[in-house]
């Protein structure tokens, strides 16, 4: 497989995955991993490095991570194709569903649904932070960093 | 909630450049996910949404596929300026940071085996995690007087943090119960 057709295969796959990545893109990461490694595009270690670097870079992490993959597979065009495939389809869905959601904003049922869903979302955000902290925790130093970051975020109004 | 919507829809419109720059800032500051700075910019600094509306929009985005933070960007842009606003916000969020990130990341990845670099990456991850936890706790503040809200936030947290269940399962099993409880509560108030 030459690099441009590999880029297309990757982009097509990412477009499908991004359209079904309920709960955020990390939920489909295992699948991306399997496809990328099975096709011989990257090694396990490279994939892990893509993740680590994209997590600590500012900006859209998952889009960046998929672009690193695209870059490896097909150079700059591959990176662009992967980025578009990762955020394009969900953007369209977000837009359409927001319009729909907004139209019914003042209906009583929607207020109840919102009241019911908000705590779950918040719990998931905190869980996301907790899981990240656990995977980053290699000793008391990292735990200290995490705890101070929580405290700073709660007291500081930057 | 009503007054906030009126305040933002009537009178002066938010310039598209504000959306571009606002989300550029979210993107550049927000290492480790971006949600921390999305809340800070959208709720605290620009006051494009209230705490509650932000949490609700986040919920909507979490129910949809894709990167949630991009969803927030689309929704805020769409709320303030419609389709063109959504495009401006997303462009601000992605264009420059993506270009820079790809260039810098490409270089960093060449040297990812160096021990010092690994430690730096680890330290950054740990603080990013702490910021995310803090943001969640802040989002919880409007709900702190509702005991059932705290309970369901705790259940969702435990479901994700301590079990290996997929997020869709956690969300789909808790959501109907949580909504039913909210319905009973609002019926009692009325």
Domain boundaries of chain B, sorted by first residue: 2-144, 145-190
pLDDT for the residue B190: 59
Of A53, A58, A59, the CB nearest to B109: A53
Closest C-alpha to A60, from B35, B141, B162: B35
Phi and psi based region of residue A23 (left: phi greater than 0; alpha: psi -120 to 50; beta: remaining): left
Write the pLDDT tens digit of every residue in A23-34. Answer: 667 667 777 888
pLDDT for the residue B3: 43
Phi and psi based region of residue B13 (left: phi greater than 0; alpha: psi -120 to 50; beta: remaining): beta
Per-residue pLDDT of chain B (190 residues; tens, 9 = 90+): 444 444 444 457 899 999 999 999 998 886 656 788 899 999 999 999 998 889 888 888 877 888 888 999 999 999 999 999 999 999 999 999 999 999 988 888 787 677 777 777 777 777 777 877 888 888 888 888 889 999 999 998 898 778 867 666 777 889 899 989 988 888 876 5
Write the pLDDT tens digit of every residue in B170-180. Answer: 778 898 999 89
pLDDT for the residue A158: 43
pLDDT for the residue B6: 43
Write the pLDDT tens digit of every residue in A38-71. Answer: 899 988 778 877 877 887 777 788 899 899 999 9
Q: Between chains, do B28 and A58 touch, taking CB under 8 Å as contact?
A: yes
A50's tokens: 């893509």
DSSP designation for B66: S
Closest C-alpha to B21, from B80, B103, B89, B77: B89
The count of other CB atoms within 10 Å of the CB of residue A91 is 22
Of chain A, the end-to-end C-alpha distance in Å amounts to 51
Of B62, B129, B131, the CB nearest to A124: B62
Q: Between chains, do A149 and B62 touch, taking CB under 8 Å as contact?
A: no
Of B137, B154, B182, the CB nearest to A116: B182
Kindly provide the ipTM of the predicted complex, given to two decimals.
0.75
SS3 at position A104:
coil
Domains in chain A: boundaries: 1-103, 105-158
CA pair distance B154, B36, nearest whole angstrom = 20
Q: What is the mean pLDDT of residues A93-112?
A: 87
Q: Between chains, do A25 and B67 touch, taking CB under 8 Å as contact?
A: yes
pLDDT for the residue B42: 95
Closest C-alpha to B138, from B31, B24, B38: B38
Q: At B12, give phi and psi (nearest 5°).
A: -75, 135
CA pair distance A151, A107, nearest whole angstrom = 38
Contacts of B97 in chain A (CB under 8 A): 58-60
List helix spans (H) across A2-139. 3-20, 29-38, 44-56, 61-103, 108-136
List all residues of chain A from 88 to 117 with a beta carbon under 8 Å from chain B: 89-91, 93-95, 97-99, 101-102, 105-106, 108, 111-117
The count of other CB atoms within 10 Å of the CB of residue B103 is 10
Query: How far does Cα A132 stand from its chain's mean position?
Result: 13
Write down how long chain B is.
Answer: 190
pTM for the predicted model, two decimal places: 0.73
Phi and psi based region of residue A57 (left: phi greater than 0; alpha: psi -120 to 50; beta: remaining): beta
Contacts of B189 in chain A (CB under 8 A): none
CA pair distance A127, B159, nearest whole angstrom = 8
Angle at A30 between CA B104 and CA A142, to 5 degrees: 60
pLDDT averaged over every residue in chain A: 83
Angle at B30 between CA B158 and CA B44, to 5 degrees: 85
């Amino acid at each position: 497989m030459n690099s441009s057709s590999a880029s297309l295969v990757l982009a097509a796959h990412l477009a499908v995955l991004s359209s079904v990545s309920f709960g955020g893109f990390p939920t489909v990461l295992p699948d991306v991993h399997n496809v990328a490694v099975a096709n011989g595009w990257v090694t396990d270690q490279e994939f892990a490095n893509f993740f680590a670097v994209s997590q600590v870079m500012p900006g859209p992490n998952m889009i960046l991570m998929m672009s690193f993959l695209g870059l490896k597979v097909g150079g700059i065009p591959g990176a662009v194709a992967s980025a578009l495939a990762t955020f394009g389809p969900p953007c369209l869905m977000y837009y359409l569903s927001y319009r729909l959601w907004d139209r019914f904003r003042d209906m009583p049922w929607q207020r109840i649904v919102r009241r019911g869903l908000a705590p779950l979302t918040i719990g998931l955000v905190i869980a996301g932070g907790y899981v990240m902290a656990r995977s980053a925790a290699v000793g008391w130093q990292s735990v200290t960093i995490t705890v101070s970051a929580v405290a700073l975020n709660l007291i500081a109004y930057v | 909630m009503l007054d906030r919507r009126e305040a933002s829809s009537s009178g002066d419109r938010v310039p598209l450049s504000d959306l571009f720059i606002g989300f550029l800032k979210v993107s550049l500051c927000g290492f480790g996910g971006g949600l921390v700075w999305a809340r800070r910019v959208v709720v605290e600094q620009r006051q494009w949404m209230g705490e509650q509306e932000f949490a609700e929009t986040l919920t909507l985005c979490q129910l949809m596929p894709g990167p949630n933070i991009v969803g927030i960007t689309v929704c805020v842009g769409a709320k303030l300026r419609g389709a063109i606003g959504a495009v401006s916000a997303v462009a601000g969020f992605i264009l420059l940071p993506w270009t820079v990130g790809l260039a810098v990341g490409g270089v960093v990845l060449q040297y990812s085996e160096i021990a010092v670099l690994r430690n730096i990456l680890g330290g950054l991850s740990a603080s990013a995690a702490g910021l995310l936890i803090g943001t969640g706790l802040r989002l919880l503040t409007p709900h702190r007087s509702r005991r059932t809200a705290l309970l369901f936030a705790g259940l969702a947290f435990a479901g994700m943090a301590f079990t290996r269940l997929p997020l869709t399962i956690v969300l789909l099993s808790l959501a109907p119960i949580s909504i039913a409880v909210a319905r009973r509560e609002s019926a009692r108030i009325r």
